[in-house]
Amino acid sequence: MLKVCGGLQPPPFFHNSPQRIRHEPRDPSESQRSSDARNRLAFGSMTATTQDLTPVANTIRGLAMDAVQKANSGHPGMPMGMAEVAAVLWTEFLRWSPEEPEWAGRDRFVLSGGHGSMLLYSLLHLADYPVSLDDLKNFRQLHSKTPGHPEYGDTVGVETTTGPLGQGFANAVGMAIAAKMAVARTGTDLVGSRVFVTVGDGDLMEGISYESAAMAGHLGLDNLVCLWDDNHITIEGHTDLATSENMQMRFESQGWSVLHCDGHNAEEIRTALGKATSGSTQPTLICCKTTIGKGSPNKADSHDVHGAPLGGDEIKLTKQALGMPEEDFYVDERAREAFRAAKAQNEAERQQWHRDLQAWQSANPEPAKLWQAIQNREVPSDLLAQLTAAAGDKSAATRALSGAVIQKAAELMPSLVSGSADLDGSCKTRIKADGSFLKDNLTGRTMHYGIREHAMGAVMNGISLFGGFLPAGSTFLVFADYMRTPMRLASLMKISCAFVFTHDSLMVGEDGPTHQPVEHLATLRAIPNMHVFRPADGPETAAAWTHALTRKDGPVLLSLTRQGLPVLPHAEGFSSQDAMKGGYTLVDAADAKATIVATGAEVSLAVEAAKLLTAEGIATRVVSMPCLELFQQQEKAYTSSVLGNAAVFSLEMGRPEWWCQLTGRFDRCIGQTSFGASAPGKHLSEHFGFTPAAVMARVKAAL
């Protein structure tokens, strides 16, 4: 029996969004098709149906069992338990298209528990995406399209990389936010989307699910439906080993509507999805009561089927119990027929969507132009010059310079949305002109993530993955560890995000070692494909933001100061474009005996130390290195000319070991190897040896 919990109201699905702008149809048949498309968007189910989806569910079970068994590795229990839920969703509710996998009008499907990847791969195969039976047989093998956890960019149809539990759930919240933004900014629900995410007990135990669910409920994301695989099993055993949480009460307290259904009863699943997509004014959690490893005579409802193959004998018994042939990787023709029918209906809707979009664009050129600019993440050709002018040439903290640059960037790039983890007054990332993104102001471009750094990072990833929008989010650098996993995943997925961190050194001062980052820059640079940009003045800050707004193959991290910095002594002919190379010669010296490479606030310190050294007969050059990763991508001739032939020293107020790749010797890496202390910044710099005289002494000693 379906249980309905929480009030459900009758407004349409995008109740917070402007109604789709109608256009005059070209003929009566188009009018009917357009009306049908609108109803589909509002009310969810493609067809009223009572089709028997047992062959679909059992085909999914068989493919999952066989693939895991062949690989001798994997997690068959979740796909077997969620087979009916997935069958109903994909054949009757979800909008998808293998003909145009990135169709902007599609729904988004996120498998948060990525260990259950064979569920998604089986669905993609049945839906005629480029995932063949051979690909399923190649599960978890090198260079396959079916890796152990779904990876965005490796497999067509995978919307996000999931593996660390809870990340996919938070990504889905970000996607739902982006869909709301798109509809509100353009005035048409054609560019919106519904987001469906499956989660398991592990996803909901992770703290990130609490943070992101609270955001979703607060914002009233009624385009978000979460399907909970409620089987009460984790790898160690039943969940009562570790938790007794009432999930319904938890989600209701966070502003969600909660429904319950038998996860193996297609009619109850169908009814729950219909309610979730037709009238709720809140995000919806559907608690699908399931049996992990459903169909297995000896391992169902046991943690034994969670993360290990069933074994050949048990697979044979399971297929007998399900009434399936013993054939490996068997696909029931009735399952293919169900997906062919769903594909045909989705294809008709996709084509109608394009006709509706074209008509809307013709009738509404300015909103259409805005949507295209967002979709393409358009920026002007002179972006760097305009941002450099916005930064100005005054001495200031780089967080303040960044704040000025953001205002100009938001004016030039409609895709940019920004926010902070309750620290805008310190981090300066608010977009002032367009207000806050709130439940009753979905056109706002400033996100308020609350004190939820972990969710902020993963929600940003979801916003980026939705398409078009480029998210920026900020907090103090010392709190980067709270969002390390989403930053790592952004780098792995090669998606565009701007992670902005301020208060980036011991010079936080009186707040003390709990707030003074020491190891953070080194560990963040260790993330493959993460570009860490630590600017030292206005032009470098403009360069950092230009790179963040235009990079297409990964995220950019901006590390910014709390304290004010002096204007650097750039040589005549300097351009911000020099900083875009990651490093450049700031102060040259003939017959140099030393070169100091510095970043951020320490660049001006290096300049002063170089003056002292030169005065003592040790000619010293200074190189500003705002982004080591970009510098290392330059041609060898350029990097050699910048570093020169003299002994190379590094200077950065953090762990120094990373810089040995440039200096060749640890004693030439001037940094901070211990935690800081609570005191005014001036006293800290003297105590820890970050003064011109102290740096000079270190260089002389090493030489």
pLDDT tens for each residue of 454-510: 999 999 999 999 999 999 999 999 999 999 999 999 999 999 999 999 999 999 999
Task: Provide the pLDDT confidence category of residue 684 given band limits of 50, 70 and 90.
Answer: very high
pLDDT value at residue 289: 98
pLDDT at 23: 30
Specify the CATH number of the domain 579-702.
Answer: 3.40.50.920
Task: Give the closest residue to 483 by CA, choosing from 451, 515, 510.
Answer: 451
Residue matched to tokens 């399923």:
136
Q: Are 177 and 464 in contact (CB under 8 A)?
A: no
By annotation, the residues acting in catalysis are 453
**Burial class of 701 by CB neighbour count within 10 A (0 to 12, 13 to 18, 19+):** exposed
| Domain made up of 383-559: CATH architecture | 3-Layer(aba) Sandwich (3.40)
Same fold, 383-559 and 579-702: yes
| Number of C-beta neighbours around residue 512 at 10 A | 15
Domain chopping of the chain, boundaries: 3-352, 383-559, 579-702
d(CA 190, CA 177): 15
pLDDT at site 3? 39
17: CB partners within 8 A, 6+ apart: 180, 183, 184, 189, 192, 442
Residue 12 has pLDDT above 70, yes or no: no
Mean pLDDT calculated for residue range 198-202 = 98
Q: What is the pLDDT of residue 50?
A: 74
Which residues neighbour 96 within 8 Å (Cβ) at sequence distance 6 or greater? 90, 106, 107, 109, 127, 157, 346
**Rounded CA separation 175/163 (Å):** 18
pLDDT tens column, 293-304: 999 999 999 999
Question: Which residues are 199's β-sheet partners?
Answer: 228
This prediction has a pTM of: 0.93
Say whether pLDDT at 8 is over 50. Answer: no
Average pLDDT over residues 183-190: 98
CATH of domain 3-352: 3.40.50.970
Short-list 313, 270, 318, CA closest to 294: 318
